[in-house]
Amino acid sequence: MHILITRPEGKGTELALELQQAGYQTTLCPVLTLDYLTPSSQALAPLENADKIIFISQDAVHALLKLTPTINKTAQLYAVGQQTADAIHEAFGRRAAVPKKHDSEGLLALKTLQDVEFSNIVLVKGEGGRTTIAKTLKQRGAVLNQLVVYKRRAIESESGKWMDHWQTAGVEGIVITSNAAVDAIFNGLNESQLAWLKGCQFYVASERIAEYLQQKNVIRTHIHIAAGASDSAMFACINQQGSKMSESDLKQSAKPAAAEPAKKAAAAKPASNQMVQHKKGISKTGSLALLISLLVASAVGYEFYHKLNSDQQSTLAFNELTTENQRLQQQLDAIKNAQQTLQQALYNSEQKVADTLRENAEQTQQQLQAALKRAEQQSYTLNPQEVTSLQRMAEFKLWAEHDFRGAAAVLSRLDSLLAEHPGTGAIRQAIHQDLQTLNGIDPVAVEAIYLKLHGINQKVDELVFNAISLPEEVSQDDPNQLSENVSEWRQNLAKSWLQFKDFFVTVRTREDMVVAPFLSEQERHLVKQRLRLYLAQAQDAILTKQSSVYFTAVEAAHALVKDYFKQDDAVTKAALKSLTELSKEQLDFNPNVSLQSTEQVKEWAQ
C-alpha cells in the first residue's frame, strides 16, 4: 500500500520510516501549519497560582515553553496523551497524569479531576477545538482559565493540486489526526477528485474524526480508528488493516479506474515512480503529453508487430518490408522529436509558472515590508492628544483628589510613553522634577489617625472618675432613745418629738473637711458622652480634611480626661498619651505644589 501522512511538518517522519521498513510506500504531505501565539502577561498570570494545568497536545507544550512563563511548582500537570506527557517532562522536567483513554473523555474520567470545586485550573490549548473539557470542568465548579498558545492554519495551495499529485503517486491510504486536516483536504475539490478521495482508506486518531469524515460522505468501512495520535498507535492500526485486506480489496477501495494508466506506467518505471512520490506537484499539461506519447508509441508498436508477421509469412516482400521499416523508423524519430518538443514546452511552461510565482512572492514580500514600515511609522508617531490627556489626569489627581501617589503614577506612565520618541527631552526633564517633588511629600496618615481615635473611644467606658474619699462618720449614742419606764412618759413624749423633727432634718458631723466636687451618676454619664462627642468630631474632621476642627476637638478631649478622671490610672495615662500624640500630628492636607511639566506640555502641544 501507498500511505499518505498529512501530519504537520516534522511530525510524520518516524511513522514514515516505520511504514517503509514494514514494506509500505509513504508520502509526507503536511496540510496544516502551526502558528505560535503570544498571549498577554495578564493571560499568563493564572499559571502562577494554578492548582492544575492541563495540556491538550504536544504543540501546546512547545508553544508555552517558548513563552518562558512562571508556573506554580506545586501545580499538578495533566496530558491528554502519552506523547504530550513526554513533551511536558522534556520541557519542564515534571511528570504529568495521563488517562488510559487518550481523549477528552478519558482525561475527564481521572479521579483527581472529579472534585475540582473552587480549584484554579489552566487549560493550555490551541485556537478552536473541542469545548468538552472546559464545559465539564466549569460544571464541576472549577475556576477555569483557557490559555490559547497556538492555532492551526491550512497550507495555501492551488485547488486540487494535492489531489493530482496523490492520484499520480498512487496513494491508497491517508493518515489524519485532526478535523482541521479533514477540512484542509476536502475543501475546494471537484466531483471527480472527491470521488477518488472518498475511495481511499482513512486512518484517524479518534472516533470524533471518524464521525467528521462520515459527514463528508466517506463510508464507514473506509475509516479505521487508531488507539491514539501517536506514531506507534497509527502504525499498529495501518499494519493491522493492511494484513487483513486482500490485493483486490486494496485496488477496489484505494484507487479509481481513472488512475490505472498512471499506475501501470509507474510500475514499469521504478525510478520514475520514486521521483513522482517525492515531487510536490505535477502539471496537468505534462500528464496529458505523456499519455499522448504512450498512445502513439503503442499504435506504432502495434503496426510494427503487424508488419513483422506479414513479412514472416512472405519472404518475397523483404524489400518492401525494409522500406516499411525505414518509414516506421522515420515515424518513430518524428514521434521522438514531437515528444522532445512537448517535454521542452512542458519545461518552458513550468519555468514560466515558477517565474510568475517567484515574481508574485517578491511583490507580496515588498507589499508586506511596505505595510510593516507604515505600521512602524504610525506606531512611532506620538499622539499629542494622548500626552495632553495624561497630563490633565495627573493635574486632576493632584489638585482635586490630593492623591500625590496617583499623580506620580500617571506622570511615570507619561514619561515611559515619551521615552520612545525623540525631541521630548525638555518635557521628560520637567516630569522627573515633578516626580521628585511628589515623592518627597509625606501624605497625611488619615486612616491611622482615625483608627487611633476609634481606639480611645472604645476605652471611654474603662476610664475611672476622680474618687471622693469621705471620712467615717463619728458614732454617737442616740440621746432620743425611748425609755421603757412608764413613769417617764413625759420624757418619752419629748424624745418622740425630737425624733419626728430629725426625720426631716439630719445633721451629721465628720472629722475632715470635704473640698472635691461630687458628681452624680447622670453627671458622670454626661461627661463620658461629651468625651465621645469630642473624639467623633476629631474623626469627622480628619476625614473631611479640616485641620482646625480636628485640633480643637483633640485638645477639648484631652482637657476633659485630665479634669474628670483619675490621673494615676493606667487607662487614663494611655488616653492622655494618645491624645497628646494626636495633637502633634502634621496635617498639611493642601501643600502648595505646582507641576513644571504642565507648561512644557502646553508649549509642546502648540
Task: Give tens-digit pLDDT for 548-590.
Answer: 888 999 999 999 998 888 888 899 999 999 999 988 887 776 7
> Residue 370's pLDDT is what?
76
Once rounded to an integer, what is the mean pLDDT over residues 482-506? Answer: 75
pLDDT digits (tens, 9 = 90+) for 53-69: 999 988 899 999 998 88
User: Of 53, 102, 62, 63, which is closest to residue 80 (Cα–Cα)?
Assistant: 102
More confident residue, 502 or 50: 50
pLDDT digits (tens, 9 = 90+) for 114-140: 999 888 999 999 888 778 899 999 999
Cell digits of residue 123: 487549560
Cell digits of residue 301: 508498436
Q: How far apart are CA 444 and CA 434, in angstroms?
A: 19
Cell digits of residue 546: 479640616
Q: How far apart are CA 572 and CA 465, in angstroms?
A: 9
Name the pLDDT band for 282 (thresholds 50, 70, 90).
Answer: very low
> Residue 363's pLDDT is what?
81
> Residue 555's pLDDT is what?
92
Give the list of residues 6+ apart from residue 551 with CB closer than 8 angstroms, or none.
583, 587
More confident residue, 250 or 456: 456
More confident residue, 222 or 312: 222
Name the pLDDT band for 78 (thresholds 50, 70, 90).
Answer: very high
- Can you list the alpha helix ranges (DSSP code H) found in 153-202? 161-169, 179-186, 191-198
Once rounded to an integer, what is the mean pLDDT over residues 21-40? Answer: 87
Q: How far apart are CA 335 and CA 181, in angstroms?
A: 44
Least confident of 69-83, 185-199, 528-542: 185-199
> Residue 334's pLDDT is what?
77
DSSP of 287-317: HHHHHHHHHHHHHHHHHHHHHHHHHHH-GGG
More confident residue, 332 or 4: 4
- Can you list the alpha helix ranges (DSSP code H) found in 93-220? 104-108, 132-139, 161-169, 179-186, 191-198, 207-215
> Residue 534's pLDDT is what?
92
Once rounded to an integer, what is the mean pLDDT over residues 312-321? Answer: 62
Mean per-residue pLDDT over the chain, rounded: 78
More confident residue, 511 or 411: 411
More confident residue, 273 or 90: 90
Asked if residue 270 has pLDDT above 90, the reply is no
Contact 83, 70 (CB under 8 A): no
Q: How many other β-carbons are positioned within 10 Å of the β-carbon of residue 277?
A: 17
H-helix or E-strand spanning residue 237: helix 231-244
More confident residue, 159 or 50: 50
Q: How many other β-carbons are positioned within 10 Å of the β-carbon of residue 391?
A: 23
Contact 204, 176 (CB under 8 A): yes
> Residue 113's pLDDT is what?
92
> Residue 298's pLDDT is what?
63
Contact 170, 255 (CB under 8 A): yes
CA distances from 602 to 305, 419, 422, 605 (A): 100, 18, 17, 5
- Which residue is associated with the grid cell 520637567? 430
Q: How many other β-carbons are positioned within 10 Å of the β-carbon of residue 69?
A: 19
Asked if residue 159 has pLDDT above 60, the reply is no
With b for 16 or more beta-carbon neighbours within 10 A and e for fewer, the 6-23 pattern comes to bbbeebbeebbebbeeee
Asked if residue 104 has pLDDT above 50, the reply is yes
Contact 415, 597 (CB under 8 A): no
Q: How far apart are CA 567 and CA 576, in angstroms?
A: 9
Phi–psi pair at 191, nearest 5 degrees: -65, -40
Residues counted in the chain:
606
> Residue 567's pLDDT is what?
87
Name the pLDDT band for 603 (thresholds 50, 70, 90).
Answer: confident
- Which residue is associated with the grid cell 512547545? 62
H-helix or E-strand spanning residue 541: helix 521-543
H-helix or E-strand spanning residue 451: helix 446-458
> Residue 286's pLDDT is what?
53
Name the pLDDT band for 597 (thresholds 50, 70, 90).
Answer: confident
Once rounded to an integer, what is the mean pLDDT over residues 163-174? Answer: 86
Name the pLDDT band for 194 (thresholds 50, 70, 90).
Answer: confident
pTM above 0.75, yes or no: no
Q: How far apart are CA 189 and CA 192, in angstroms?
A: 8
> Residue 606's pLDDT is what?
67
Give the list of residues 6+ apart from residue 266 with CB closer than 8 angstroms, or none.
168, 169, 170, 272, 273, 276
Q: How far apart are CA 507 and CA 113, in angstroms?
A: 90
> Residue 269's pLDDT is what?
39
Q: How far apart are CA 47 and CA 54, in angstroms?
A: 11
Name the pLDDT band for 276 (thresholds 50, 70, 90).
Answer: very low
> Residue 557's pLDDT is what?
92
